Amino acid sequence: METLVDRINTDTPDKLIIQKYADIIKNGGLVAFPTETVYGLGANALDDSAVRKIFEVKNRPVNNPLIAHISDIGMLETVARDIPSGLERLFAAFWPGALTVVLPKRAAVPLSVTAGGETVAVRCPSHPVAGELIRLSGVPIVAPSANLSGRPSPTCFEHVYTDLYGKVSGIIDGGRCDIGIESTVVIPKGKSVLKILRPGAVTPQMLEKCGFEAHVDKNVLAPVKDNTVVASPGMLYRHYAPRASMEIVRGDDDDVISYINEKIVQSGADGKIGVLCFDGERELYRNAFVIEYGSADNPLSLSKNLFAALRRFDEADVTKIYARVIKPCGLGLGIYNRMLRAASFNVTSL
């Protein structure tokens, strides 16, 4: 398939360029586009056959539902109904932004979007290109991450190009994504209570400041046991994963650094061990393929670089990755949630 590609200035997006991609969406095609979290693979959320193409192209399990993206709150009623009162202040505080809310679905939303369920996940992205694409399309757009299922999510054009060029109708190149991990997903549970199904840049602390009790689902940091029914099917899968097996190493700095160095030596120190560490630590590891993914004091720098780092380990063909993490609170909770799945929950605590 021919794939239309344009580079776009994200501060002042050219409407004439975006219009071409909006026409593709209106005609039932697929377009990958930048958002503030990660790149999304978009289709008209109200067009069942367009939505099904997303599952085929990504090879995504059909029981993993999609998020419908809207350009403004006025579009919410096209996908959701019976919106609980009290959520207005949630929308006012976090939309447009990296928060997805699960709500009762309208009949117009095909069951392919919701994996057969009666609820739909909705988000209003803040990225100017995403907003303009939805506005010009005139329809809500479902947009899972624009990667092949299982791979690390795409946070720049090159990642999308690698996974999807030739398989979709269009890719909009908007440079790098600011946040780098997917949105926070919440489901309202009675008045003023939200359950966090997937952590992200909108943290439990931010939700509480807005007047909500925020409960983190137990499967955010623990693997799903066989046969349990999960609140969010995305929790089920090995996800975001590099090809090499990954081990998360937690503990005091000195202990973690000596443990990883011992492992490098034991493996033959042939440069095929990957180390994912913090800025300024490169020199601490010898004969390994080392990536510094950001500052331990600046979680946003880590979330922004995490998936790109995992893809670089793939390119370098490392056989094993040892990874350092920050504490699972604030944005760190979202980062840790992605790393646990990338590592298939393989964690060594020293």
Residues at the interface with ligand AMP (CB under 6 A): 64-67, 102, 114, 117, 119-121, 144-145, 182, 185, 197-198, 232-234
Residue nearest to ligand AMP (CB): 234
Stated as kind and residue range, the H or E segment containing 65 is none
Distance of closest approach, residue 234 Cβ to ligand AMP, in angstroms: 2
**Site for Mg ion, residues 143 to 202, rule: CB under 5 A:** 145
Distance of closest approach, residue 120 Cβ to ligand AMP, in angstroms: 6
CA–CA separation, 336 and 277 (whole Å): 14
Two structure tokens written together for 328: 């699972």
Two structure tokens written together for 103: 């709500």
CA–CA separation, 125 and 109 (whole Å): 19
Stated as kind and residue range, the H or E segment containing 231 is none
136 touches 18 (CB < 8 A): yes
Q: With respect to ligand AMP, which residue has the nearer C-beta, 28 or 117?
A: 117
Stated as kind and residue range, the H or E segment containing 277 is strand 273-277
Q: With respect to ligand AMP, which residue has the nearer C-beta, 98 or 288?
A: 98
Judged by beta carbon distances under 5 to 8 A according to partner kind, the member of Mg ion, ligand AMP, none in contact with residue 58 is none
Distance of closest approach, residue 89 Cβ to ligand AMP, in angstroms: 22
Judged by beta carbon distances under 5 to 8 A according to partner kind, the member of ligand AMP, Mg ion, none in contact with residue 301 is none
Q: With respect to ligand AMP, which residue has the nearer C-beta, 199 or 274?
A: 199
Judged by beta carbon distances under 5 to 8 A according to partner kind, the member of Mg ion, ligand AMP, none in contact with residue 256 is none
CA–CA separation, 25 and 27 (whole Å): 5
Distance of closest approach, residue 76 Cβ to ligand AMP, in angstroms: 15
Q: With respect to ligand AMP, which residue has the nearer C-beta, 203 or 337?
A: 337
140 touches 100 (CB < 8 A): no
Closest by CA position to 240, among listed 168, 167, 334, 329: 334
Sign of CA dihedral 189, 194, 199, 200: positive
Two structure tokens written together for 311: 């893809």
**Site for Mg ion, residues 128 to 147, rule: CB under 5 A:** 145
Distance of closest approach, residue 29 Cβ to ligand AMP, in angstroms: 18
Q: With respect to Mg ion, which residue has the nearer C-beta, 241 or 318?
A: 241
The total number of residues written for the chain in this structure: 350
Distance of closest approach, residue 220 Cβ to ligand AMP, in angstroms: 11
Q: Where do we find the tokens 């202040």? A: 89
Q: Where do we find the tokens 């907003």? A: 131
Task: Give, to the nearest 10 degrees, the angle between helix 15-26 and helix 128-137.
Answer: 50
Judged by beta carbon distances under 5 to 8 A according to partner kind, the member of ligand AMP, Mg ion, none in contact with residue 234 is ligand AMP
Distance of closest approach, residue 28 Cβ to Mg ion, in angstroms: 22
Number of residues lying near Mg ion (CB under 5 A): 1
Q: With respect to ligand AMP, which residue has the nearer C-beta, 114 or 137?
A: 114
CA–CA separation, 2 and 234 (whole Å): 30
Q: With respect to Mg ion, which residue has the nearer C-beta, 145 or 183?
A: 145
CA–CA separation, 171 and 105 (whole Å): 29
Q: With respect to Mg ion, which residue has the nearer C-beta, 163 or 173?
A: 163
Distance of closest approach, residue 181 Cβ to ligand AMP, in angstroms: 10
- Could you list the residues that contact Mg ion (CB under 5 A)? 145
